[in-house]
Amino acid sequence: MNSPGSTSVEEILTQAAAVAGADATGAVPIRTGAHAIYKLRCGIIARIGKPGSMDAARRELWVSRWLNESGIDTVEAASSLDQPIVVDDRPVTWWQLIPDHRPATPAELGEALQRLHSVAAPTTFTLPEYDPFSGLLETIEFATTLDDGDRGWLTQHEQQLRSRYQRLPAPRRHCVIHGDAWQGNLVVPPDGPPTFLDLDKISTGRPEWDLIQLAVDHSDFNRLTTADYQSFVTAYGGTDMTATPDFRIFADIQELRWTAFAITLSTRNPGAETEAAHRIACLRGRIDKPWTWQAF
């Protein structure tokens, strides 16, 4: 018997598919970040969650059904397959393929977020409260690829950001948020509406967390032109995060989260280890903005 955590994602997929009644032969990997995502030949997407994330996987299925019933177009679970299936403590869920899609434009994302933020929270289950610091200290503390200098600086940086965030005024709004809102998580098929993907961070919280990623892309990375960013702002209703007095605290936390993600991947990906070191150097002020960070 394999010890917990020793089963490869390919083996997990094969075993889960056999239990659910799907054919994983020839499955194509799409992404291997926090979740491993595969495309099956039958037009199904398999999503393999992190160890111990069964409750989150169940909630993603509930969220998909609830949002679609609420008029928010969202990726749909494959109702023909049993799910979630757990293999080696990792839940596997099955989703309908959205064929031939493209990432949303900034304007399409702004409009979709405006609608999402107007939806009343579900009554049949409870969404978690969004915690921007979730897992950060653990990632920093247990990362084997960090030297003591970077580990100490990141720990202090996280504590300072947490203190600054806790001193913010009470939020003007508290609503349903996506939690990882960028153009790649809202996809547009040729003959259909923009559709939300990656539902694992759907929660309740400050709407700023859904606005900060594009604001930072524009301000700190130049990944978004002024015209594209303004189209996002206009479509959302006029809220420009870069013009708010609290912009920097949201931006700094988001950039630390992106850095922690690269650190998490670095134990099994030499490219991610190099990228994590680069991101830390940026945060520490050793590289001038605009920054260039590689995506994973």
CA-to-CA separations, 142 to 28, 34, 267, 284, in angstroms, rounded: 31, 16, 11, 20
Angle at 250 between CA 167 and CA 232, to 5 degrees: 140
Contacts of 101 (CB under 8 A, 6+ apart): 187, 188, 189, 190, 195
Q: Are 209 and 130 in contact (CB under 8 A)?
A: yes
pLDDT at position 1 is 39
**Which pLDDT band holds residue 33 (cuts at 50, 70, 90)?**
low
pLDDT at position 132 is 98
pLDDT at 188 over 50: yes
**Which pLDDT band holds residue 124 (cuts at 50, 70, 90)?**
very high
**Which pLDDT band holds residue 27 (cuts at 50, 70, 90)?**
very high
Give the 3-state secondary structure of residue 204.
Answer: strand
User: d(Cα 145, Cα 203) in Å, to the nearest integer?
Assistant: 31
- 196 backbone dihedrals φ, ψ, rounded to 5°: -75, 140
pLDDT at 216 over 70: yes
DSSP string, 86-137: EETTEEEEEEE--TT-EEPPHHHHHHHHHHHTTSPPPSSS-PPBP-TTTTHH
Tell which phi-psi region holds residue 5, choosing left (phi > 0), alpha (psi between -120 and 50) or beta. left
pLDDT digits (tens, 9 = 90+) for 58-114: 999 999 999 999 999 999 999 999 999 999 999 999 999 999 999 999 999 999 999
User: d(Cα 117, Cα 70) in Å, to the nearest integer?
Assistant: 12
pLDDT at position 267 is 86
Q: Are 89 and 4 in contact (CB under 8 A)?
A: yes
**Which pLDDT band holds residue 2 (cuts at 50, 70, 90)?**
very low
pLDDT at 239 over 70: yes
- 283 backbone dihedrals φ, ψ, rounded to 5°: -60, -35
Give the 3-state secondary structure of residue 45.
Answer: strand
